[in-house]
Structure 1
Amino acid sequence: MAHKVKAVVVKAKNAPVEIETIIIPDPGPGEAVVDILTCGVCHTDLHYKLGGIGDDFPYLLGHEATGIVTEIGENVTGITIGDRVILNWRAVCGSCRSCAKGKPQYCFNTANATQKMTLEDGTPLSPALGIGAFAEKTLVAAGQCTKVDEDVDPAAVGLLGCGVMAGIGAAINTGEVTRGESVAVIGCGGVGIAAIAGAQLAGATTIIAVDIDPAKVALAQKLGATHGINSSETDPIEAIRNLTGGFGADVVIDAVGRPETYTQAFHARDLAGRVVLVGVPTPDMKLELPLLEIFGRGGSLKSSWYGDCLPSRDFPMLVDQYKLGRLDLDAFVTERITLNDIEDAFHKMHDGKVLRSVVEVASAGALSGTGSLAGQADPKESLVR
């Protein structure tokens, strides 16, 4: 039986978000219905709202989420009803040329639900990153559900679904940071600070935070950076070299994604060092670098898409690190809000006032760590008002 639930929708480019009643169909083969517990407010959702990703409006926003599996379709394996899951936008196919090479983290044929969620009038919705989790329930491909332990704060671990995973993965997976190395991170928003956390987790001993905002630099130093550089006052290239014996960092991560910051990252790395681009550029941006310098420095220039993560491998491992006290995911949760607060959360995020606003969608009982929403008579009762 299809469900009617409340959800956050944007109907036109740069229009205000609206809370609408939407229709969630029964799951088909390979699909699952998930009752949403929490969902982080990510820059990607704002890009959808502003029309920066496409014009397939109306969009059902939200993707950085945890939930409880309440229904599954035919041919679903790996999850069962009642499982606590983190949602991901990399449901690997297992058969494309990348998966066949044993590199499913680069899968070229990731799956989403086949059926469409709709408005009450039948208008099909485009779910953000194939998830659409600013909602009481959502429909996803079963492979988008990664089972995790229930004895953790869903608001914290749910951030692994996108931004925090992108940053941590940029350091650990893409940058391949190892013990004793030096790492510089340019841009200390949520993704950049997550990259700092990843570098610390990997055993880097010199971790340099770079930003034009001194408050962000100070926060980065509280959360794992050993040094901070205010690049509005200091040349970051020279400052990074000065902190690394005059050589440059082993790994420099650009978490901004602009030609200026990428150029800084390129020149601030050591010979044979690695540059990792995890900040997302806009389509109009162009980059010019001296080819002889690319040849002469050696090393590698890499881009990191979703932190080159494999959710089935990385999410449970990072939740374990969180439980062991080695990864402070709680520090990324700046505020807990409701579905009604998302428009304001977009403004706070744009102004750099938060690492993450997290929407708590479910009831307090479900959020406590063991509850299931499956037995609720009215799904609208799960909305935090």
Structure 2
Amino acid sequence: MAHEVRAVVALKKGAPVSVETIVVPDPGPGEALVKIEACGVCHTDLHYREGGINDDFPFLLGHEAAGRVEAVGEGVTDVEPGDFVILNWRAVCGQCRACSKGKPWYCFSTRNATQPMTLLDGTPLSPALGIGAFAEKTLVAAGQCTKVDPAAPAAAAGLLGCGVMAGFGAAVNTGAVGRGDSVAVIGCGGVGMAAVAGAKLAGASKVIAVDLDRRKLERALSMGATHTVDGTAADVVEAVRELTGGFGADVVVEAVGRPETYEQAFYARDLAGTVVLVGVPTPEMKVELPLLDVFGRGGSLKSSWYGDCLPSRDFPALIDLYLGGRFDLDAFVSETIGLGDVEEAFEKMHRGEVLRSVVVL
């Protein structure tokens, strides 16, 4: 039986989103129907609305979500109805060349539900990152459901589904921040703030937050930053070097996704240091660096896919850290809102007023 539910849809490029009634099918083989309890408003959803990802309108937005499994399809064994789960957008296949090499966080053949969700007139919807969770219910591949401790509130837990995991993982998994390291994080939105928190938890001795917004820099101090750099008032590269004995940071996380900030990250790292790009650029952006500098400075230039996370490993571990009082997911929740408030939440996010608005159903 199909389910008619309310959901937030971007019908056409650049137009305000609207709450529509959509049709969600029962799960088929390998699929799960999830009743959404909470979903964060991520900048990626705004990218979808603006046509910055692709032109497959209409989009069913939302992807940072937690909820309860309501039904599962044939062959599903890892989750069952009633399980509290965080949704992920990289359900590993277990069979591709990355998975077969023991590196499933790089899975090259991640899975989504195969049945379409539609508008009432039958128009297929493109779910954001294969999830589409600004909805009362959504259909996903069962592997996109990661079971976690139900003691965690959905509004906080769901944020691990994208931004918090991406930033935390960029520092801890991709950047391999260790005890005593110096770390700089360029861009202190939700992803960058999670990188700050992750670096602190990993034992970094110095965590330098860089942004153009003083409000974000003040917030970063509460999340674990030891120093801040206001990019409107100082040369970022020189400021980071000055704070690290003239050498540069061991790890620099670029959480903006722009050529100019990537160049700052490149030159703000120590020799043989690591640059991690987790900010998402747009297709037309290009970086130009002297090849001799790339060679001469050594080290690593890395891109971080979803914080190089393995949801089955990382989500439960971070929830346990949260419940143990060591990782403050609540600090990322700026406000809770309803389905009809997503467009206003986009405006607040654009103005830098919130870390995360979270839709609670």
For normalisation by structure 2, the TM-score amounts to 0.99
Taking the aligned partners of 1:302 and 1:333, their CA distance within structure 2 comes to: 29
Instruction: Determine the structure 1 residue equivalent to 2:327.
Output: 327
**Is 1:258 paired with 2:254?**
no
SS of 2:207's equivalent? Answer: strand
Taking the aligned partners of 1:31 and 1:241, their CA distance within structure 2 comes to: 50
Taking the aligned partners of 1:9 and 1:306, their CA distance within structure 2 comes to: 24
Instruction: Determine the structure 2 residue equivalent to 1:125.
Output: 125
Q: CA RMSD for the aligned pairs?
A: 0.7
**Is 1:243 paired with 2:243?**
yes
Displacement, 1:23?
A: 0.8
Over 4 Å off, 4+ runs = none
Residues 143-171 of structure 1: CA distance to partner in whole angstroms, max 9, x if unpaired? 00000011111101110000010000000
Aligned AA (1:100) = S
Instruction: Determine the structure 1 residue equivalent to 2:219.
Output: 219
Aligned AA (1:43) = H
Displacement, 1:326?
A: 1.1
Taking the aligned partners of 1:260 and 1:339, their CA distance within structure 2 comes to: 36
Aligned AA (1:258) = R
Aligned AA (1:271) = L
Aligned AA (2:266) = F
Residues 21-42 of structure 1: CA distance to partner in whole angstroms, max 9, x if unpaired? 1111111000010000000000
Taking the aligned partners of 1:252 and 1:124, their CA distance within structure 2 comes to: 41
Taking the aligned partners of 1:118 and 1:259, their CA distance within structure 2 comes to: 38
Taking the aligned partners of 1:292 and 1:12, their CA distance within structure 2 comes to: 45
Instruction: Determine the structure 2 residue equivalent to 1:57.
Output: 57
Displacement, 1:188?
A: 0.8
Aligned AA (1:320) = D
**Is 1:315 paired with 2:342?**
no
Number of aligned positions between the proteins: 361
Taking the aligned partners of 2:343 and 2:76, their CA distance within structure 1 comes to: 36
Taking the aligned partners of 1:291 and 1:123, their CA distance within structure 2 comes to: 49
Instruction: Determine the structure 1 residue equivalent to 2:3.
Output: 3
Residues 241-262 of structure 1: CA distance to partner in whole angstroms, max 9, x if unpaired? 1111111100011111111111
Displacement, 1:325?
A: 1.1
Residues 322-360 of structure 1: CA distance to partner in whole angstroms, max 9, x if unpaired? 111111110000000000101100110111110000000
Give unpaired runs (5+ residues) of structure 2. Answer: none
Residue correspondence of structure 1 range 335-374 to structure 2 within 5 A: 335-361=335-361
Give unpaired runs (5+ residues) of structure 1. Answer: 362-385
SS of 1:218's equivalent? Answer: helix
**Is 1:285 paired with 2:282?**
no
Instruction: Determine the structure 2 residue equivalent to 1:364.
Output: none
Aligned AA (2:107) = C
**Is 1:81 paired with 2:76?**
no
Aligned AA (2:44) = T
Displacement, 1:213?
A: 1.2
Taking the aligned partners of 1:143 and 1:47, their CA distance within structure 2 comes to: 25
Aligned AA (2:339) = L
Aligned AA (1:223) = M
Residue correspondence of structure 1 range 29-40 to structure 2 within 5 A: 29-40=29-40
SS of 2:93's equivalent? Answer: coil
Displacement, 1:2?
A: 1.2
Taking the aligned partners of 2:291 and 2:54, their CA distance within structure 1 comes to: 34
Taking the aligned partners of 1:319 and 1:174, their CA distance within structure 2 comes to: 20
Taking the aligned partners of 1:14 and 1:231, their CA distance within structure 2 comes to: 30
Taking the aligned partners of 1:205 and 1:157, their CA distance within structure 2 comes to: 27
